Chains A and B, each alone.
Chain A
Amino acid sequence: MSEAKKAPEGLYYTKEHEWVKLEGDLAVVGLTDFAQDQLGDITYVELPEVEAEVEQMGEMCVVESVKTAADVYAPLSGVVAEVNSALEDAPELINQDCYGAGWLVKLSGFDQAELDNLMDAAAYVQLMAEGE
């Protein structure tokens, strides 16, 4: 897999391996390629309720695979505007297309300034290189 797919440009990243992309006044959130690879085959996603409030780096939802269950943290504070209900029947979308069809939630009411606390693609790639 090419570096570009591992951590696409234009997205912001957390150290817990979530990504966020701005689409107008919504922030789309998902898991990075590294995360889905580590988790293995995703078997279930427990998405938050629409209108739930989240805090930056607070627990947002849970993703389960056969071997583990992982907490997903909100990259930004805000309100859950939409959830990806396709994941109910096809959680494997996260494994197949984590930056596209495998998105998790869309947040509204976020503060742009909080993006300063996140990493860009280059910094995230470097973090992964240092880690494992």
Chain B
Amino acid sequence: MKTIFEMSRPGRRAASLPCSRVDERFCEMSQLPPELRRSEAAELPEVAEIDLVRHYTLLSRMNFGVDVGTYPLGSCTMKYNPKFTEVAARLPGFAGLHPLLPQLRRGGLLAQGALRVIYELEQLLKQITGMDAFTMQPLAGAHGELTGIMLMAAYHHDRSNQKSLVLVPDSAHGTNPASAAIAGYQVVTVPSKDGVMDPTAFKEMLNDQVAGVMMTNPNTVGLFNPYIAEIAEAAHQADALMYYDGANLNAIMGYAKPADLGFDIVHLNLHKTFGTPHGGGGPGAGPVGVVERLRDYLPISRVDMRGDGTLFLDYDHPKSIGYVAPFYGNFGVCLKAFAYILALGGEGLKEVSQDAVLAANYLRVKLGDKWQVAFDRPCMHEVVFSAEDKAAQHGVSALDVAKALIDEGFHPPTIYFPLVVKEAMMLEPTETEALENLDALVAAMGRIADKAASDPEALHAAPITTPVGRLDEVNAARHPVLQEPLET
């Protein structure tokens, strides 16, 4: 499809601007002198509104979202995004609210509704996770991880601890070691045993240099680590903090809380567990919760309640790590998660985890006929298979399977993650896929398994039903073309 630039025609326009109606001289006086002015107008598109709308409408039809079909992308929790939350976020009282308003004198009174959303969401997240305090500032999950590590650093600095290491299991999501490294720590990897982080190896690697350990439970292969209590105890004895990556929270709501498992810091992915849309890659939100002894370090401002029940922004926390976001977080995203939690309530959230775990195990058993499951025991909300046997016997890789599944009308599972499983395929159906969709997915995977043996070439050629086939990614990296070339 042509780009919007290629559609340009000089003189076409869609812009509609109000008339100034002030005296002409104000326009003249604000003309810029040459040394401050750009030499030529930016070559932005010149199109009519109808053509622009058609362009992006047609592009949307070349895209696949949860609203289009089943999306069992492991580790991403691609559940249904409720529409009523979109309406709430667009209410003028929220959408039009300038973030500086509550920073004016008496300004808090102008934003009580918005402050209520943040405050009440915090209370709900505290209940869900068992943590004592939350910040909504982090703007994504990885951002929450970075914030969590910064909190760790502040804690140790305050205690004059000299800590330089962070431990992560070998199955960790890439953002974990990346976040720790970016915050200035050295990362050390702990091996897994039987699919979960090995408690013995962990204790051996624990020393007085370890600031903390980043884990998720269930982990990235969908398994619950039953040794978590002894791991937490060992960590705390070494004055190391336990960090919980909340990406997999969809598996345990109502059954376990990170605080009870021994974690000190938690980040949540509102765009995963709490149903806010992924937006094609963002925006997300990654609120961070902490136990009491870390409360003082949370970013400012905090939303607090006065005796008369009014809410205000509290900046008076001298040990705070400062600002990780310009204001109070991705408020629009937090609002949608708040709405979601209110709608589901306690029973509903527990049912979410029950249905998510049930669906993943259903896939484990049904797919297990023709596919090699990575760990032959009940999983939690996601299940990992390996295509290693198909690769060895028929030259069919996890990538081929994924591309073939596209032709079958499904979004593929996550592939090549976690790194600890060869030719990994991680499926997370979530709780919102109907049984017949799960069965259809199983049937499609069955057909692909059969084809792997009978006609592997067909799988190498997949996908064939999409607007483009497999793309030359090597060329894209060797000779990057990252923008529409300017017409000469």
Touching in the complex, A and B, CB below 8 A?
Answer: yes
Once the chains are docked, how many angstroms separate the CA of A91 from the CA of B474? Answer: 11
A-chain residues with CB within 8 Å of residue B416 when the two chains form the complex: 67
Q: Which of A49-66 contact B (CB under 8 A)?
A: 64-66
A interface footprint on B451-488 (CB within 8 Å = 1, 0 otherwise): 00000000000000000000001100110000000000
Q: Which of A30-80 contact B (CB under 8 A)?
A: 41, 43-44, 64-67
Once the chains are docked, how many angstroms separate the CA of A44 from the CA of B480? Answer: 11
Interface size of B by CB at 8 A reads 5
B interface footprint on A84-110 (CB within 8 Å = 1, 0 otherwise): 000000011000000000000000000
Give B399 Cβ to nearest chain A Cβ, in Å. 10
A-chain residues with CB within 8 Å of residue B477 when the two chains form the complex: 43-44, 64-66
Give A41 Cβ to nearest chain B Cβ, in Å. 4
Nearest CB in chain B to that of A40: its residue: B474
Nearest CB in chain B to that of A67: its residue: B416
A-chain residues with CB within 8 Å of residue B478 when the two chains form the complex: 41, 43-44, 91-92
A-chain residues with CB within 8 Å of residue B474 when the two chains form the complex: 41, 43, 66
Nearest CB in chain A to that of B478: its residue: A43
Once the chains are docked, how many angstroms separate the CA of A44 from the CA of B475? Answer: 11
B-chain residues with CB within 8 Å of residue A44 when the two chains form the complex: 477-478
Once the chains are docked, how many angstroms separate the CA of A91 from the CA of B473? Answer: 14
Once the chains are docked, how many angstroms separate the CA of A67 from the CA of B477? Answer: 10
Give A16 Cβ to nearest chain B Cβ, in Å. 17
Q: Which of B405-422 contact A (CB under 8 A)?
A: 416
Once the chains are docked, how many angstroms separate the CA of A41 from the CA of B477? Answer: 10
Give A132 Cβ to nearest chain B Cβ, in Å. 11
Once the chains are docked, how many angstroms separate the CA of A65 from the CA of B473? Answer: 10
Give B424 Cβ to nearest chain A Cβ, in Å. 13
B-chain residues with CB within 8 Å of residue A65 when the two chains form the complex: 477
Once the chains are docked, how many angstroms separate the CA of A64 from the CA of B473? Answer: 13
B-chain residues with CB within 8 Å of residue A41 when the two chains form the complex: 474, 478
B-chain residues with CB within 8 Å of residue A43 when the two chains form the complex: 474, 477-478
Once the chains are docked, how many angstroms separate the CA of A92 from the CA of B473? Answer: 14
Give A37 Cβ to nearest chain B Cβ, in Å. 15
Give A116 Cβ to nearest chain B Cβ, in Å. 30
Give B395 Cβ to nearest chain A Cβ, in Å. 16
Once the chains are docked, how many angstroms separate the CA of A41 from the CA of B475? Answer: 9
A-chain residues with CB within 8 Å of residue B473 when the two chains form the complex: 66
B-chain residues with CB within 8 Å of residue A64 when the two chains form the complex: 477
Give A94 Cβ to nearest chain B Cβ, in Å. 12
B-chain residues with CB within 8 Å of residue A92 when the two chains form the complex: 478
- Which of A41, A91, A92 neighbours the largest number of chain B CB atoms within 10 Å of its CB? A41
Can you list 15 A-B pairs, Cβ within 8 angstroms, ordered by A?
A41-B474, A41-B478, A43-B474, A43-B477, A43-B478, A44-B477, A44-B478, A64-B477, A65-B477, A66-B473, A66-B474, A66-B477, A67-B416, A91-B478, A92-B478
Residues of A at the B interface (CB closer than 8 Å) are 41, 43-44, 64-67, 91-92
